[in-house]
Structures are given as C-alpha cells and as structure tokens.
Amino acid sequence: MTRSRRRLVALAATTTLALTGLTAGPALAEVPPDAPEQLRNGDFSAGVSPWFSYSTGELAVTDGQLCTTVAAGTANPWDAGIGQDAVPLIQGAEYELSFDVSATPGAALKAVLQLGSAPYTTYASVDATATPTATHVTTTFTAPADNAGAQLIFQIGGSAEAQTFCLDNVSLRGGEAAPPYEPDTGPRVRVNQVGYLPGGPKHATVVTDATDPLPWQLTSAAGAVVASGKTTPRGEDAASAQNVQTVDFSAYRKPGTGYTLTVDGETSHPFDISGTLYDRLRADSMQFFYAQRSGIAIDGDLIGDEYARPAGHLDVAPNKGDTDVPCQPGVCDYTLDVRGGWYDAGDHGKYVVNGGIATYQLLNSFERTKTAETADGGAALGDSTLRVPERGNDVPDVLDEARWELDFLMRMQVPAGKPLAGMVHHKIHDKNWTGLPLAPQDDAEVRELHPPSTAATLNLAAVAAQCARLFAPYDAAFAARCGEAAKTAYAAAKAHPAIYASATDGTGGGAYDDTNVTDEFYWAAAELWLTTGDKAYLADVTGSPLHTADVFTPNGAFGWQSVAALGRLDLATVPNTLPAAEKTRIRASVTAAADQYLATIRDQAYGLPLPGTADAYVWGSNSNMVNNTIVLATAFDLSRNAKYRDGALQAADYLFGRNALNMSYVTGWGEQNAHNQHSRIFGNQLNPDLPNPPDGSLAGGPNAALQDPYAANLLAGCAPMFCYVDNINSYATNEVAINWNSALAWLASFLADQGDAKAVPAPTCAVTYSTHGSWPAGFTTQVTLRNTGTKAIDGWSLRWAFLGGQKVSHAWSAQVDQTGATVTAKNLPWNGKLSPGTSTTFGLNGTSAGGPNPDPTLVTLNGKACTIS
C-alpha cells in the first residue's frame, strides 16, 4: 500500500520574514523562447499531481484550472499555500516565471521560489493581486544558487475574507534541460554484498548482452579460484528491463571473507560466506526504533554520539509538546497526554495504524522464539542484548522497545465518560508540514489529535492483547493494563464499526485512510482469543469471511492497511486450543502461500518473492517484499522444510545488493548502501553536521508510481526496479518508516537464527505433554520423553514455553527451572540415560492467572525439536 506523502513547505512566520535572496525584477537578459520548462503539469491537464497545498481546502481541477479555498482570517500570506517541489535551478541561469491567477472575492498573493528546507532562502519572488478575473503575471530573474530541488510556493493566506483561488498556465522556463539520469550501478555481477550462509543458497545475477551460457569463477580473497561453472540465461527481466543470466554457486560452502564472483569480464563487489553474517543486523535493525523515540533524550553512549539529542515534544520550547494535546477543532473537548511512542517515518507524526503493525512485528519476533526450533529459546533477544536504556531490568529488550510504543498507543484511547469512549485517536502530528532537516526538539508547530477511527481502535485491541500474554511473565500489572485496554477497544470498535479515517486529512502528516476494517476485526479477534480464550472472540474469528479466505496477496502478504494475514499467522504459530483439523488447515494455508512465493522467486531473475510488474513496486515495496519473506520464514518454522528457509535466504539477497541497482537498501550494510533516506532527523545530505540514518535502517525501495516530484523529475519512464534514488528529497522511494524497519527486524532475527543453515535433521525424540487437571488458578501436567533415535541419550534437557503468565510451582522426577515463560526440565541422576525406544516421565504443578493454557507446539531436547504426540 502507498503511504501518505511528506511535503516540504516553509510555514513559520519568523522564518519567512527573515528570508534573504533575490527578489524578481527587470530581466537581465531575454529568456530564449525554446528554453526548457522546469515545472510539471503547469496546465493541470494531468490533474492535481504533483501540486500540493497546505492549510487550504482540497485541491481540484475546475474548468482546466487548479482551484482551492482558503478560510477567512489567516494572519499571514504564508499561512496557506499551493506549491511544487523539486524545481531545478542553475546558478547564473535566466528564468521566466509566469502564471494566470484569479481569486474570489479577491486578495493579494506572492509567488516564491525558495530553498525547500531551513533556512528557506528565497531565490526569487513576485507579488500579485488576484481578482475574480484571471490576471497574467510574468517576471524574469537570475538564479542566485544551484538547487536541484527548489520549491515554488504560492502564498495565498492573510485575507480577512474566505477566498477561492485558481491557478492556470503556471510555467518556469530557463536553465537547461535535465540530462538523462544514469545511476551508478557498479559491476554487472549483482550479489548479496553482505554474503551467504555456508549451507544456504548462493545465487547471483549478471547483466549481459550474451544469450548463451557464460563461464563464472568464484575467487577467494587471496585470488585463488575456488569454484567455477556456467550461468543460466534468463532473457529479459521484466522488473529491470535488463537481459540477464543467473549464477548458482550453492555447492560451495567453505566460510571465508572477501570472495568475489567474475562473469563476462566483470567482478562483483566482495562478500563473505559465514554463519554469523546477520548477528549484528538483529541489533542494528532494532536500534532504529530507539533512534526514533519521542519523549526521551537519546543516549549517544548507546547508539553513537552523533545520534544523541534532547527529548522531543515534551513541552520544552520551542516544542508545543505532546503532554497536553488538543483535538482538531470540532473533534473533542479534552486534551490528552500522548507523550512517547516512535516518530513514524521522515516526519514527527505518530500514527496508530502504522504503530500497530510495527509493534506487532517486534512482539511477534519475540513470540516466534517460543515456537521456532532455530530461535534458541529467545536468548539473542533477551535482556541486555539490544541497545536500549532499559537493558538490565530482567525483561527481554525487544519487549522493552515495544513497550515504548504500547504506552503511547494506550494513551491515544478516548477517556471514559467522553463520546466514543474506548475508541482510539487515529493519529497525532503537526498542524502544518515542516521542512527538512528538523530535529524533534526544534519543532515549533502546534500538535493536534485527529479523530478516532475504527481501524486505529482495532490496532490497539490487537497489539494490547499480544502485550497481555507476552508481558505476563515479566510485569503482571502492565500485562493486565494491556488486557483491559484491548477488551475496551474491541468493544468500542464493535459499537462503532464504521468510523473511517479521512483520505483528505493529510495536512501536516499522512492520512493513513482505510475504509475496509474487516481485516482489523479479524486480527484483533484472533489476538484477543489467543490471549483470553473467550469464546465470544473465537466466534468472531470463525465467523469472519477472512477465516477461510486466501489472505496472502502476491504484492504484499500484509501491511498497515491489510492485516488479516497477521491473525492467520498467529493462529498458525501461537499455541492454542483449536481442533487439530482446523490447526492443520490454517497451517496449510501458510505453507500454500509460501509455495506461491517460492514460485515467484523462481520466476524472477533477481530471485525475490515479488512479481516483476509495475504494480508490485509501490511505496514501501521493500517492506512488502520482506513481509512476503516472513511468510516463507514462518512456513519453515512450522514445517522444518528447508526449501522455505532457502527461499527466505534468497529473498534477503535482493535487499543487500542482488538487484538491478546493485544497491543494498540497508544503511551501513553492503559495499554500496542507501544512506540518504528521507528523514527530518537524519538530514546529513542537507546538513553535514547531522548524521545519516543509523546502521540497519531500511529504505522504502523502488516505487514505479514516482509519487514525489524529485523522483518524478529524475526517473520518468523507469523500469520498476530502477524507480529508486538514494536522495533525501525522494520521500516516495527513499523514506524510512517504523513498519518497514519492523519487517526488517523480524527478518534479521530469523536470518541470524539460521547460523550455518545446515540440513534439518529428522527428530530423534518424541514428547507427550498432557495436562491432567486444571482449575482457575493452576494446573497439573505430565511430560513423557521417548528416545526415537538410534543412539542412546546420556543426559537430557527439555525446553518449552508457556503461552503467558503460567509458572511452575512444583515438579517431580526432573529438575525444572523457569525464566520468563520458558521452562527447562533436566534429568535427575537416576533417569538421565535413555536407550533407543525407551522413555521417562516427569510431572509438574503450575499456577495461572486464568486464561488459556494450551499445550506447547515446540519442545526441544538438548536444543533439537522433538515430535509432539
């Protein structure tokens, strides 16, 4: 799904009044009649795009003109405007700016060509008076500076009366025609620039005119040829419009650094073969969330001095703050303390529906460790494993990070006693768009709560239900708070099932509109049932048409606007009490979807689970690709079938350089990596005193719709995989966002868990886990371990995890310990040896705070999965 656009406009009165620059005057030389046009769609024959407005009514094309309204009483001309970004200027070149304008009943306006970010330097400006009859305005000027991304703003505020403004025939001629953009794609041999796991697949793509197979050589860092073979011709790849061939060197498994692949006279970027390739990526990808935190000072000792900053939006001037935020006019009569949470993306807004899926993926990356054999019981996501200030508090760090957003999400709930009580405000952000760069603590804009929505309310219900079961072993009070918030939100959503976020509410922040919430209802009901066991929630799950539908789509298995797959994945993986046949059907739907993604990987010469059509390369295409990969990874966790793991590993190659641009889309990872992502916080490209995004930040990726003017100017006519530019001005291809990094963080954790990617052994043990009695506060369980292998077991350690807050209170015939939800049972001196075919049994009593207590779906013996019988 596309995300709402991020616009750069100069709004602050103090800034505008202080602008310096060249005001348009008499022409220094005549602009040639054949001078190139630098604006797009100035006659509005193509509709509204790429024009934008702020503090106005909706833009519309009426009788061939671009028209909008401005409310009465705006104080200053710059308080409302119409504009276009990414206007190229060349220092010393002559330009002619012209336009037709009318206004009813009539008002003054100013056209300003300026720097689109602080300090908003004026390059040229012209004043005009608009009347109900169209007036033609024209002026010439000499550009005082080079700027490939200047901004044209028609300032149309400052009138005591309401106005209707219309523009037509807007033109800026002069300078030079932009040369064709040619990205630097480096060597024609495209590899995963990070590397490959020893036992995993190893593929590369070669761009070549050749149509017959070509010889390839794999060379060590010392220059020795260690493997060779022939390529496979693939013809023209639709996504890149390149003639390509592929290389498969999977048979080579020796770990090492600095390998290169040579084909057709070209040598790839270097890469490693190692089982520890992705260990650091797990922490890097999750540190992004700490760097995006609102309402807390960022500690440079944790993530680097360059990222240290004061807390943002805590009512410290110039911030208006998030501790006492009013609603938009007419929305509510109260204020809320909505401090905390994560800044969503390149701006300083905080959005519940995007925060919901991002929080889900962090929570789910931890919950996966309870049911995935390769996750080692979650040791790598435990306390003091990540760079967060809460480390050392006996809570897994990934849960600490998720809690920062969970607290914010619950603060967005409408208070009891108010209209729509229990519903959740859709978003909170600046009243007006701000420019780049802008540190959070320097944001002077007024903050506003936007109306509640059913989608936002169900997002809270879903993730707060997750929170209730996952935090139960660590913080029972917080878990209970989450549980109550989830139930309250779900009840409120059922009472108000069709309150939708407006698609036009996009000034100062993204709209995040969604008019179909059947998927949110399904997801929330599934999470609440898994946590509470309440049959009413199960009835909503099984009664939803999505319960038996194919919810995994080719272009993106799930996203903030399409969340049914989240419910399906959790029903397939989280232990529950569904009938065995129903569990089998649900899990089969996941593996069937994974099979389809494997087929897509085979069909794509660059080996990714995304179709090669333009409609697959949308805003945030990289996250869509990763989410499809998560389905593959989940299928592996469910089935232990290595083909799904291999598919996930191959898909990761695309992120790290095996793509048409030869670009790693993850900052700090790979020889050539994206590092100029669109962000107000990480504005190094505009201000060298600021940092680039931290290592482990995922760029949005190719977007064939070219929904920002910088990309539209530069990349017109691009093949889908080439519709990307690593430039801070391209918000539609190169933004950072919490839901994109949450997808990367989930995948990074899975990749790191795979180690050498060795063959998956058949189980050599079987476990029978039987709960013989249960009551509201406890239960009795008996566990039988059977040696089904051909070798004797000499010492055993069984491990499994409870669903939530269950705790072992007493055990017999085994030494049983518990950390969080994870239980470890070890043999006693007399029952540690098991010959093939023999078994031993032990038991335990446990306590519970109520709710379901399903049998575990994973029990490991000395780290290896047993068959559950």
Q: Which of 270, 273, 271, 266 is nearest to 189 (CA)?
A: 266
| CA diameter of the chain | 100
Among candidates 427, 294, 302, which has minimal Cα distance to 352? 427
Q: Exactly one of 96, 570, 735, 753 is catalytic; name it.
A: 735
DSSP state of 442: G
One-letter amino acid for residue 243 of the chain: N
Please say if 400 is a catalytic residue: no
Number of Cβ within 10 Å of residue 182's Cβ equals: 6
Question: How distant, in Å, are the alpha carbons of 384, 386, 546 from that of 397?
Answer: 6, 6, 34
- Letter for the amino acid at 297? A
Q: SS3 letters for 206-218?
A: EECCCCCCCEEEE
From residue 817, alpha-carbon distances to 134, 369, 607, 865 in Å are 81, 18, 44, 19
401: number of Cβ within 10 Å: 26
**Could you tell me if residue 231 is left (phi over 0), alpha (psi between -120 and 50 degrees) or otherwise beta?**
beta
- Helices 397-411 and 279-291 cross at an angle (nearest 10°) of 30
Short-list 740, 862, 821, CA closest to 574? 821
| Contact of 139 with 152, CB cutoff 8 Å | no
Q: State yes or no: is 347 an active-site residue.
A: yes
13's CB contacts (< 8 A; 6+ apart) are: 75, 76, 78, 79
CB 691 within 8 A of CB 306: yes
Return d(Cα 733, Cα 710) in angstroms, integer.
Answer: 10
| Sheet strands (E) in 278-374 | 325-326, 335-336, 350-351
From 79, 94, 272, 347, active-site residue: 347
Does residue 350 contact residue 295 with C-beta atoms inside 8 Å?
Answer: no
End-to-end alpha carbon distance in the chain: 42
Strand order in the sheet with 52-54: 52-54, 81-89, 147-155, 107-114, 122-130
628: left (phi over 0), alpha (psi -120 to 50) or beta: alpha
**Active-site hit among 400, 513, 678, 753:** 678
User: What is the phi/psi pair of residue 331, to 5°?
Assistant: -90, -45
CA distance linking residue 150 with residue 116, whole number of Å? 6
Amino acid in position 816: V
* Residues found in the chain: 869
DSSP structural state of residue 440: G
Task: Enumerate residues 6+ apart whose C-beta is below 8 A from 185.
Answer: 207, 660, 661, 662, 663
- Of 289, 294, 352, the residue nearest 321 (C-alpha): 294
| Residue type at 275 in one-letter notation | G
| 3-state SS, residue 609 | coil
Q: Work out whether strand 815-819 and strand 822-826 pair parallel, antiparallel, or are unpaired.
A: antiparallel
- Residues 835, 787: contact at Cβ < 8 Å? yes
Query: What Cα–Cα distance (Å) separates residue 853 from each residue in 577, 606, 674?
Result: 9, 45, 46
Stretch (H or E) spanning 229: strand 225-230
- 534 burial (CB, 10 Å; 0-12 / 13-18 / 19+) is middle
771 neighbors 784 (Cβ within 8 angstroms)? no
Catalytic residues: 347, 678, 726, 735
